[in-house]
Structure 1
Amino acid sequence: MDEQALEALFSEHKFTHVLHLAAQAGVRHSLTHPHDYLRSNCVGFLNILECIRHQQPGPPVMVYASSSSVYGLGSQVPFHESMRVDSPASLYAATKRADELMAFTYHHLYGIHVTGLRYFTVYGPWGRPDMAYYSFAKAMQAGRPIVLYRSGSTEPARDFTFIDDAIDGTIAALDHAYECEIFNIGNHQMEPLSALVQALEEEFGIVAQKQYGGLQPGDVPVTYADVSKAHDLLGYQPKIGLREGIQRFAEWYRWYHHADRNRLDIGLGI
């Protein structure tokens, strides 16, 4: 994140809130491009903190994106915010944990109000094409096999969070502006990867060609959010389950990728 451009922006405007969602995302890409992650996720984060602390007459409230990846190799589920998070499984996870520590330090030193949101596998329309649900949909539409990774006979499971629920949690964090907090933003439902595939198959009317491989470096077998803290302090209540979320994603996908004869009806809502 361009330090000089940020300084110019903060000198021109006085902000009440800063919502920092920019990052180099993705676990596997961090294995091959580590410097990109340090520059974007750590140096870029530091640049934002510096601009915030120097704003006069007072610093704005900061809400920033952390990640469920910080829970790393922890085996106790569901994950809650008071758990130790000192065993990251990837450099991406390490950079996100570093952001949390920097945010705490700047709160301690300069009194900045900071809230970190540990998002759990956010999915939905306009999502990242490299994520499993999206890449599976593209492969299935093209008649290509999908690859399911697992550790032995153990099937990976994820806490899939629909984008609308993630937005609700984010807005609630901005509205409450706690001094220094971290919250899980998830669906509080642990779904096996096979449930995701089944939902995609039913929505697109395609039986996926499946191939299997071992768990990839940097991946973790399970994510599962305890959202009770976010519920109690933010009023956060996820509403969209995996089946409905994939239905909404598939509707958008057919429109966006012109894979449905009725795409114009979908796009126009008629």
Structure 2
Amino acid sequence: MKVLVAIKRVIDPYVKIRVKSDGSGVETNNVKMSMNPFCEIAVEEAVRLKEAGVADEVIVVSAGEINCQEQLRTALALGADRAIHIEAETGLEPITVAKALQSVMEREQPRLVLMGKQSIDTDNNQVAQMLSALTQLPQGTFASEVIIKGDAVTVTREIDGGLETLSLTLPAIISTDLRLNEPRYASLPNIMKAKKKPMEQLTVAELGVDIVRHQEVIEVMPPPERQGGVRVASVSELVDKLKNEAKVI
């Protein structure tokens, strides 16, 4: 079974975000970048499926500028077999990414597509659902457990009310949640081996996808600084401040 994993390059989650002075976006120059944490979980799950003998090949794909090859090499060091880099501008809209992935799926014919439920930069949580609609394939989102038996996959997904279990028929699309697994660290020998693993480069034009902008970012601004708290001497004073100053009651 062939597994396709979509990943994204984002600002490292442990880096403090700084907004550009002109308000056009966030600062990315000289900022540490990494693989989206949810995408790491998707890569780990694919590698575990291969180690268990369920998957034969793991392919990672990412759309973006040339520097996103760093994250593809990281995924190769974690155990993926080969990579596909879709050369495109940074900040593609979810529907464009979904169409590009659809084209890659037509070329590769994977039995399973894994991806993070959302990226930590835009938090859209849309690509998996859009890809499922485009390909007319079953989907399981927010997966916290994935069990594959033959042509069926059982997905336990996290919902507001608790857990929901779905039974899907392969091929299928699954987006991963935090509790699915604990991603491994790439060892130095595997990092060296990853440099020799194949990486194919494609363009969105080669995939037959037109980049059309449906959204426009007007301004990006940092959240207001949090004000310091105050001590109150009694419950009545607290109620008075909540009612007359904070106006929340």
Q: TM-score, normalised by structure 2?
A: 0.33
Q: In terms of Rg, which structure is larger?
A: 2
Larger strand proportion, structure 1 or 2? Answer: 2
Q: Which structure carries more relative contact order (alpha carbon 8 Å, separation 6+)? A: 2
Q: TM-score, normalised by structure 1?
A: 0.31
Larger helix proportion, structure 1 or 2? Answer: 1
